[in-house]
Structure 1
Amino acid sequence: MTNNDILKKLRVALHLRNDEIIKILALVDFKVTASELGALFRKEGHENYKPCGDQLLRNFLNGLIIHMRGPSPDGKIRDEE
């Protein structure tokens, strides 16, 4: 399973639109445009397909934590405790 597959499955499972994903990434100061995001959701053989890197997925997951739980009181991203 690729990072693109994980991102697609999370988008469907959480009923997220592309603009919401962009806002979630902005929570961790990770900038991505709508066209870049659209390229991640294309089929692998499409000419505009772009593989999702580890950094983008990691930042999305960290932003999703903030989006769902709210920011941590000390302003840092929470690690496993």
Structure 2
Amino acid sequence: MSNNDILKKLRVALELNNEEIIKILGLVNFKIGKSELGDMFRSNDHANFKACGDQILRNFLNGLVIYKRGPRDPKPAEK
């Protein structure tokens, strides 16, 4: 299963649209355009298909944690 397949399945399962995915990626300071994101959801044989790299999927998953749970609480200072 490719990163594109994982991203597609998460998009459907969580009922996310492109704007929400861009917002989620923005939570971890990762910028991506609508057209670039749309290219990842295209069929593998389409001329504008773009492979979803590990970095994009990793940042999406990290952003998804923040999106669903909220930001991480700061750690108490060590003595």
Q: In structure 2, how many angstroms separate the alpha carbons of the residues matched to 1:16 and 1:50? A: 19
**1:61-72 correspondence to structure 2 within 5 Å:** 61-72=61-72
- Post-superposition Cα deviations, 1:17-51, rounded to whole Å, max 9, x if no partner, equal 00000000000000000000000000000000000
Residue 58 of structure 1: CA displacement? 0.1
Q: In structure 2, how many angstroms separate the alpha carbons of the residues matched to 1:72 and 1:6? A: 25
Q: Could you state the TM-score of these two structures normalised by the residue count of structure 1?
A: 0.91
Q: Could you state the TM-score of these two structures normalised by the residue count of structure 2?
A: 0.93
Per the alignment, in what secondary structure is the counterpart of residue 4 of structure 2?
A: helix
Q: In structure 1, how many angstroms separate the alpha carbons of the residues matched to 2:50 and 2:67? A: 25
Q: In structure 2, how many angstroms separate the alpha carbons of the residues matched to 1:57 and 1:33? A: 15
Unaligned runs of 5+ in 2: none
CA-atom RMSD in angstroms: 1.0
Q: Which contiguous aligned blocks of 4+ residues in structure 1 show a shift greater than 3 angstroms?
A: none
How many pairs does the alignment contain? 75
Equivalent position of 2:46 in the other structure: 46
Q: In structure 2, how many angstroms separate the alpha carbons of the residues matched to 1:72 and 1:23? A: 17
Identity %: 67
